[in-house]
Amino acid sequence: MTATKAWSKRNLRIGGAFVLALAALGACQSVFDRQADSAAGTGVIAPVFEVDPLWPKPLPHHWLLGMTIGIWVDEQDHVWIIHRTSATLHENERALELGVGECCRGAPPVLEFDPEGNLVRAWGGPGQGYEWPGSNHGIHIDHKGYVWIGGNGPKDAHILKFTKDGKFVMQVGALGKNGGSNDPNNFGRVAKIWVDPQTNEAYVADGYQNRRVAVLDADTGKMKRYWGAYGNRPDDKDLGKYDPKAPAPQQFRNPVHCVERSNDNLIYVCDRQADRIQVFTPDGKFVKEAHYARETLGSGSTWDLAFSKDPQQRFIFLADGTNEKVRVILRETLTEITNFGDGGRQPGQFYGVHSIAVDSKGNLYTTETYEGKRLQKFVYKGMGTVAREQGVLWPRAR
């Protein structure tokens, strides 16, 4: 062997070792960063997520999403969304639908995806026997497999119930019949519905016009009880402009935007423009409250929430569509410990993050309204040390 060849082989060995060393350093860098954050007192132990930029898969038929304003994960880990389709698409986005070009058209309002991101079912819109909302809002799949839909259009005073295949089952309330927050038969622009599998009661976040939580028999639709902020009887008088320095209002501000029960039988309610979550017993007795980004004006900071999948549901994930973040909250104390996200249209960024849900593996899903018009998945990577302000959860280098 010549000296030149030996030197070349030696260089190759050194170069290969150097590449392996760099790869090992890259793989360990996030661990070192987290340990450094923890040692410096700037990090916290929390669930770790990473955006999946390839989920879901592209829609067929040149379909596009409009404002996407509801999400739920069913017992099969299928992800259901509802969106406002062509009514919220620009004419240039639906040239195929208008017959002036090759692409595109609004997708049907209700879409179901399997865990791999494949589209499974698509349906929804006006039909016989029911009044489709003027502006659909919120979707929930209950323990019996029924699909519940609300609406926040100016005349939407009702909610709808369907099978998973889109067969109409029941309408509660009637279009244009809102009688205020003490009406036992109609609603006021409903934001979200959640059905309790233990009691078969439907909890209704009511809403963009009314100022209450309403509870119904999920089979008959008969209203059983309702309450306002702090468990008070609802009052629809104008609360005026939100002032973060003023005492907290004794009524909900509009909209009452989410409602859901925890495993330990507490009801969590988003009072969006008051920047707060209130907690109740199932009969409407007030337990506690907490504010988040209390200086937030406009559309507020508390848009939707979901619980972590551990049995204790240690964490609440709170969608904040004004500040373009998901806030991670200790459920026991209602203390925010970290958040992630930022404004933008790249994967992991948000434009009007509106709704949030969690699957059985702990993965997070979000939808976006306004011009966001999309569904995103954030893969659960286990517990770890994270910064208090995480920013965009871009995939880490492999």
Q: How confident is the model at residue 398 (pLDDT cuts 50, 70, 90)?
A: low
Mean pLDDT confidence for 318-346: 98
Q: Tell me what pLDDT residue 42 has.
A: 74
Instruction: Go through 184-196 and write b for each residue having 16 or more CB atoms within 10 A of its CB, e for each that does not.
Output: eebbbbbbbbbbb
Nearest CA to 192 out of 174, 173, 168, 214 is that of 214
Q: How confident is the model at residue 41 (pLDDT cuts 50, 70, 90)?
A: low
Percent of the chain with pLDDT over 90: 88
Residue 340 has pLDDT above 70, yes or no: yes
Mean pLDDT confidence for 318-343: 98
Mean pLDDT confidence for 134-158: 98
Q: How confident is the model at residue 9 (pLDDT cuts 50, 70, 90)?
A: very low
SS3 letters for 182-218?
Answer: CCCCCCCCEEEEEEECCCCEEEEEECCCCCEEEEEEC
Q: How confident is the model at residue 396 (pLDDT cuts 50, 70, 90)?
A: confident
Residue 22 has pLDDT above 90, yes or no: no
- Tell me the per-residue pLDDT of 229-242, one tens digit each, with 9 for 90 and over: 999 999 999 999 99
Give residue 7's region: left, alpha or beta (phi > 0; psi -120 to 50): alpha
- Tell me the per-residue pLDDT of 239-284, one tens digit each, with 9 for 90 and over: 999 999 999 999 999 999 999 999 999 999 999 999 999 999 999 9
Q: Which CATH number describes the domain made up of 44-387?
A: 2.120.10.30
Mean pLDDT confidence for 131-148: 98
Neighbours of 285 (CB within 10 A): 12
Query: Using CA atoms, how far apart are residues 214 and 195, in angstroms rounded to an integer?
Result: 12
Between strands 63-64 and 105-106, the pairing is parallel
Q: Tell me what pLDDT residue 395 has.
A: 87
Residue 107 has pLDDT above 90, yes or no: yes
Q: Tell me what pLDDT residue 137 has.
A: 98
Q: Who wins on pLDDT, 18 or 279? A: 279
